[in-house]
A and B are shown apart, each in its own frame.
Chain A
Amino acid sequence: MSDLPSPLRLPPLEAEKKPPLSLDEALAEAHRCLSCFDAPCTNACPTHIDVPRFIKRIATGNIAGAARTILSANVLGASCARVCPTEVLCEGACVLGDHHRPIAIGLLQRFATDYAMARGIPPLRAGPRRPGSVGIIGAGPAGLACAAELVQAGYEAVVYEAAEWPGGLNTYGVAQYKMTPRVSLQEVEWLARCGLDIRCGVRVGVDVSLAELEARHDAIFVGVGMGAVPPLGLPGEDLPNVVDALDFIADLKLGRPPLIDRPLRGARIAVIGGGNTSIDVTTQAARAGAATVWLLYRRDQDTMPAYAHELHLSIEHGTRLLCHTVPVRIVGQDRVTGLEIEQVRPEGEGRTAPLVPVPGSRRLLEVEAVVRATGQGGVDLLRQLPGVAHRGGVVQVDEWGRTTNPRYWAGGDCISGGKEVVNAVAEGKRAAQGIIRDILARKTS
């Protein structure tokens, strides 16, 4: 089946920031759960994990059962336990949040899923084999969730992954302090053992053609995520050490030096953005030893799309936030030595108000690197997909995740433009259900 590269090849890196719960901590926390009726935490979860049920199982010492409850709703429960913004999802909805302290649902989920992963308890059971096959492009959260759902229903799912490692952003794009690539890869391997066929280093459109895929499979699921950050159009943008946010994070995660000709430790960095990815870069850069980290955002702090708790964590790490600030020019001879910035002010209210420069406000930040975190563009492959409509790198889908080509389905960042892992899982699962219902079920009936 899948022949995955061993996670043991990864360099030893910084461990996850939040330590796991001990058994006693988990039991004490589980006992605090009220077991709400129509639990808001479950409703707040895009994959609708039955939170009170899994917590009750922890409380009664049935940890494997707790993991099964989680994984039956969200097969990537182990990574979601680490990377989900629980503060605004399950834990944000917890009824104890107003007057007490919300239940640490993320940590309890991690406790249960880590328990199951460490013991090799299968995260899913392949269903009785039925005729029907789906080709899945991209072994990220959406593709894996789609494949898992199909395999459980008895269908063949073949996942084609262009990169060396599977896992997509879980492996390459989630900041190291939240989740190590090792955890992501172990999780994928755990799934693969249950019957997912994952083929890494296979570029669709290069190593295998779309025509071949169409001939081989009854349906194709596109879970390719987003692509590179489009250029900002700044002078000096092509200088070395002007990097994309996700490349920066991926380099750190895989033990590659993110900057050319100098270590990150002691460097001064300017990050341009305002979304969650830009925040991840600032926190991660500070943790990796950067001397000064600037974050440039063109509007005010309240308008910033990043989660408040993530921004707070970044500022705790020493990030210097520059609001109402835009980059003007990247300075340097053979590599970056500075970033010229300028103050702007909005004309009117809201996130779309036009911004006008404040005269005489230009100044130079001395930095050795500039990180672009201004939003990703689409993946080139989209243009090759026959009859699949997309706009700005985002594929158009119906409520089941079906594209404008009825044989093609999509989910994850390539339909949302960039959301949480848990959303990608929900979308992958939903598309699988749509595929089963619509194409494969018709074929097998």
Chain B
Amino acid sequence: MADLSVDFCGIKSPNPFWLASAPPTNTARQVLRAFEAGWGGAVWKTIGEPIINVSSRYGAIDLNGVKMMGLNNIELISDRPLASNLRDIAEVKRHFPDRALIVSLMVESRREAWHDIVRRTEDTGADGLELNFGCPHGMSERGMGSAVGQVPEYTCQIVEWVKEVARTPVIVKLTPNVSDICYPARAARRGGADGLSLINTINSLMGVDLDLMSPRPVVHGASAHGGYCGPAVKPIALHMVAQVCGDPEVSLPVSGIGGISNWRDAAEFIALGASTVQVCTAVMHYGFRIVEDMIDGLSQFLDDKGLRSVAELRGRALPAVKRWEELDLNYRVIARVDRSKCIGCGLCYVACEDGAHQAIAARRDERGRTEVTILEDKCVGCNLCSLVCPIEGCITMQRVDDFGDEVLDWRRYSASPASYPHVRSNRHD
């Protein structure tokens, strides 16, 4: 059995699965239930000066019958009195001393305000602090949240204030609503942060109610932009985690966040360098119980791969994250169709014909179904057919070049294109 325990800048956790700072971590009742279910840690819903919320608050995007592919919210930080939150945090920590309990903080950008909230929070016995520099709505208009996270100088300044008094590790939660997330990440590092968590939610309008002619979620016939999360944002989050983890100027432990719903998602974040992962939308959809499958699945995966710990998985895929110009132009794949598996839907044909490179021929077979043939001289190996194919393993991409390990990257090629005529054959006339 692989070791799932993690040490995140000194914060110990029996597994890498943490609840993100969000509605599921609003009360002791919830976090106690989560820890009973097996969550390794939780980041308490952001505390600060209590706010008031609107009704309604969440909007979702469904895809072909799958609910909540993406979720957004216009909810603010905790609306509970600070004292209630602090009392709850202390209670939870008392019941579950082995779990990571981190408290998300957001107060106005004054040194004294930050000093005060840090001291009061640490008095609860919490294991660490997460500075919410990411909330993109409501709080940002008041000079907090992403208003801080979008300006590296502010980020650095507030982290410095916090570090003046903090005795526990300080994690900075980054907003994705920037042009390059490495800048605020580096600023957090300069300010003395012990770790980073990313991504916070993405600016979004969730959709338009076409009867009311109002964006969703509807608040008396109107809405505002909100924070977008859920499975749909995972690719964006993966990219940003890889950027930050691969940036030598950052070099801090990262807690990955963004659309993580199962062990596979978690493993991908860890493979790109995350030490822990944080989950919100999947819990809001299915409840705390999902962690059981995450623990079991990750453990099985590590065993299958012969990895003894989560740490051994961490960053394994990071060296393969490259710039385009470093990619191998010698490498060539083409699609192969397994006729024994093909059900004759013709989706690969129409996708290739209309949407890609006209490299599939189709004819109607004796059963009235579409029989496809890959035109190997036209196939550029784009993957599209295999992506639309509904049958597992029916279309596979197979390597057809003879170059083995000999890599031809863009820089070498562009210095002397005429020397590499085979590269030209991989494109249209």
Q: A residues bordering B, Cβ < 8 Å?
A: 27-28, 30-31, 34-40, 43-44, 59, 93, 95-96, 98-99
User: How many residues on chain B are close to A (CB under 8 Å)?
Assistant: 17
**Docked-complex contact A37 and B346, CB < 8 angstroms:** yes
Minimum Cβ distance to chain B for residue A118 (Å): 21
Residues of chain B within 8 A (CB-CB) of A96 are 343
Pick 30 A–B contacts, CB within 8 A, sort by A: A27-B65, A28-B65, A30-B65, A31-B64, A31-B65, A34-B347, A34-B390, A36-B344, A36-B346, A37-B345, A37-B349, A37-B350, A37-B362, A38-B346, A38-B364, A38-B370, A39-B346, A40-B344, A40-B367, A40-B368, A40-B369, A43-B364, A44-B368, A59-B64, A93-B367, A95-B343, A95-B344, A95-B345, A98-B343, A99-B391
Those 6 A-B pairs whose CB atoms lie nearest each other, nearest first: A37-B346, A31-B65, A37-B350, A95-B343, A36-B345, A40-B368
Bound-complex Cα distance A94 to B368 (A):
10
Known: A34-B345, A36-B370, A93-B367. 16 other contacts (CB 8 A): A27-B65, A28-B65, A31-B64, A34-B390, A35-B347, A36-B346, A36-B347, A37-B350, A37-B362, A40-B344, A40-B367, A40-B369, A59-B64, A93-B368, A95-B344, A95-B345
- Complex Cα gap A95–B369 (Å): 8
Q: Is the CB of A43 within 8 A of B347?
A: no
With A and B bound together, what is the CA distance between A27 and B65 in angstroms? 7
Enumerate chain B residues within 8 angstroms of A28, measured Cβ to Cβ: 65
Determine the chain A residues whose CB is within 8 A of the CB of B350 once the complex forms: 37
Question: For residue A59, which residues in chain B have a CB less than 8 angstroms away from its CB?
Answer: 64-65
Q: How far is the CB of B310 from chain A (nearest CB, A)?
A: 36
Q: How far is the CB of A4 from chain B (nearest CB, A)?
A: 37
Interface centre among A34, A37, A39, A96 (most CB of B within 10 A): A37
Closest to B342 in A: A95
**Contact yes or no, B362 A38, CB < 8 A:** yes
Residue of A nearest to B346 (CB): A37
Q: Which residues of B from 363 to 378 have beta carbons under 8 Å from A?
A: 364, 367-370
Select from chain A the residue with minimum beta-carbon distance to B343: A95
Q: How far is the CA of A93 from the CA of B369 in the complex (A)?
A: 8
**Separation of A38 and B347 alpha carbons in the complex (Å):** 9
Chain A residues lying within 8 Å of B368, measured Cβ to Cβ, are 40, 43-44, 93
Scoring A36, A43, A44, A59 by chain B CB atoms within 10 A of each residue's CB, the highest score goes to: A36
Contacts of A40 in B (CB 8 A): 344, 367-369
Nearest chain B CB to A407's CB is how many angstroms away? 37
CB proximity of B102 to chain A, nearest CB, Å: 39
Interface of B is mostly: loop
Tell me, in angstroms, the Cα distance from A98 to B362 when the chains sit together.
20
- Chain B residues within an 8 Å CB radius of A39: 346
Q: What is the chain B residue whose CB lies nearest that of A96?
A: B343
User: A95 vs B347: C-alpha distance in the bound complex, in angstroms?
Assistant: 11
What is the bound-complex CA distance between A34 and B65, given in angstroms?
A: 13
- Please indicate the chain B residues that have their CB under 8 angstroms from the CB of A44 in the complex: 368
CA distance A40 to B365 in the complex (A): 10
Give the complex CA separation of A35 and B343 in angstroms. Answer: 13
Assembled-state Cα–Cα distance A98/B350 (Å): 22
Residues of A within 8 A of B364 (CB): 38, 43
In angstroms, Cα B66 to Cα A28, docked, is 9
Nearest B-chain residue to A52, judged by Cβ: B345
Given contacts A27-B65, A59-B64, A99-B391, contact A37 B343 (CB under 8 A): no
In the complex, how many angstroms separate the beta carbon of B343 from the nearest chain A beta carbon? 4
Closest CB-CB distance, A141 to chain B, in whole Å? 24
A39 to B35, CA, bound (A): 51
Closest to B390 in A: A34
Please give, as numbers and ranges, the residues of chain A lying within 8 Å of B347 by CB-CB distance. Answer: 34-37
How far is B19's CA from A261's CA once the two chains are assembled, in angstroms?
77
Q: Which residues of chain B in 325-365 are interfacial with respect to chain A, using CB atoms and an 8 Å cutoff?
A: 343-347, 349-350, 362, 364
* B109-156 interface with A by 8 A CB criterion: none
- C-alpha gap A99/B370 in the complex (Å): 16
Q: With CB as the reference atom, state the residue of chain A lying closest to B367.
A: A40
Chain A, residue nearest B391 (CB): A99
Contact string against A for B residues 235-259, beta-carbon threshold 8 Å, 1 for contact and 0 otherwise: 0000000000000000000000000
CA distance A12 to B212 in the complex (A): 42
User: CA A31 – CA B62 in complex, angstroms?
Assistant: 12
How distant is B360 from chain A, measured CB to nearest CB, in Å?
Answer: 10
Q: Which of A30, A40, A59 has the most CB of B within 10 A?
A: A40
Measured between beta carbons, the chain A residues less than 8 angstroms from B344 are 36, 40, 95
Give complex CA distance A37, B342 in Å.
14
A42 to B390, CA, bound (A): 19
**Across-interface contacts of A31 in B (CB, < 8 A):** 64-65
CB-based nearest B residue for A42:
B368
- In the complex, A96 Cα to B64 Cα: how many Å? 17
Distance to closest chain A CB from B295 (angstroms): 31
Closest to B372 in A: A37
Residue of B nearest to A32 (CB): B65
Which residue of chain B has its CB nearest to the CB of A37?
B346
> Roughly how many angstroms separate A28 CA and B62 CA in the complex, as a whole number?
12
**Least CB separation from A35: chain B residue:** B347
User: CA A99 – CA B64 in complex, angstroms?
Assistant: 21
Instruction: Give the distance to chain A from B15, nearest Cβ to Cβ, in Å.
Output: 35
Give CA–CA (A95, B349) in the complex, Å. Answer: 15
Specify which of B345, B349, B370 lies most central, judged by the most chain A CB atoms within 10 Å of its CB.
Answer: B345
Residues from chain A with a CB closer than 8 A to the CB of B362 are: 37-38
Q: Which residues of B contact A98 (CB under 8 A)?
A: 343
Q: In B169-194, which residues have CB < 8 Å from any A CB?
A: none
- What is the distance, in angstroms, from B202's C-beta to the closest C-beta of chain A? 26
Shortest A49–chain B CB gap in Å is 15
A40 to B368, CA, bound (A): 6
A99 touches B343 (CB 8 A): yes
Q: Which residue of A lies closest to B369 (CB)?
A: A40
Which of chain A's residues have a CB closer than 8 A to the CB of B369?
A: 40, 93, 95
Q: Give the distance to chain A from B61, nearest Cβ to Cβ, in Å.
A: 14
Report how far A93 CA is from B345 CA in the complex, Å: 11
A42 CB to closest chain B CB (Å) equals 10
Nearest A residue to B370 by beta-carbon distance?
Answer: A38
Taking the nearest CB of chain B, how far is it from the CB of A442, in angstroms?
36
Query: How many whole Å from B244's CB to the nearest CB in chain A?
Result: 37
A96 CA / B343 CA spacing, docked (Å): 7
Give the residues in chain B near A30, CB-CB below 8 Å. Answer: 65
B370 CB contacts on chain A under 8 angstroms: 36-38
Q: A28 to B67: give the CA distance in the assembly, Å.
A: 11
> A256 to B123, alpha carbons, bound, how many Å?
87
B353 to chain A, nearest CB (A): 9
Q: Which residue on chain A has the smallest CB distance to residue B363?
A: A38
Complex Cα spacing A35 to B390, Å: 11
Interface members, chain B 48-75 (any A CB < 8 Å):
64-65
Residue of B nearest to A59 (CB): B64
